[in-house]
Amino acid sequence: MTGVLIVRQPHTEKELEAMYDLRWRVLRKPWNQPRGSERDDKEEEAMKFIAVLNDQVIGTARFHNITDRIGQIRYLAVDELFQNKKIGTNLLSSIHMTARNKRFKYIILNARESAVGFFKKLGYSVVEPGPLLFGSIKHFKMKKRL
């Protein structure tokens, strides 16, 4: 991986569309979900983060308020070509810093079973079983104290 990785919020409509496309390709397409399923009713109020390398959006995550002290991360996705290269860790570090600056106390998320170990390494703990997505993807509700 050559170049400088930058984690920031999207600045242009083109970056937003690249972010949504990445979400769909990584999180929805493998389960035959339609375009549009990578978005929900919290898009307008949520803070979106992208990881950019050489002007290409290669990672994304979203953060929104549950309460004034609890935030939730959703839609963490990294392009398959860049997985296992700390892109997700960098995205989460930026979200954690932003959440601390905004005085959040906790972050929650629903992690796919395959990602639980990744989140545990970053200080998250399993709270309870989470939803079953698309009838087959087990999730676990996880929480981190900031």
Domains present along the chain, CATH in parentheses = 5-109 (3.40.630.30)
Torsion of CA 130, 128, 22, 59, to 10 degrees: 180
With beta carbons less than 8 A apart as the criterion, state whether 73 and 63 touch. yes
Question: Could you say which residues of the chain have pLDDT below 50?
Answer: none
Three-state DSSP class for 15?
helix
Task: Give Cα 29 distance to the centre of its chain.
Answer: 16
Name the pTM for this structure.
Answer: 0.93
Specify whether the backbone of 75 is left (phi greater than 0), alpha (psi in -120 to 50) or beta.
Answer: left
With beta carbons less than 8 A apart as the criterion, state whether 111 and 119 touch. yes
**Beta carbons within 10 angstroms of residue 11's beta carbon:** 10
What is residue 123's predicted lDDT score, i.e. its pLDDT? Answer: 97
Cα separation, 115 vs 103, whole angstroms: 26
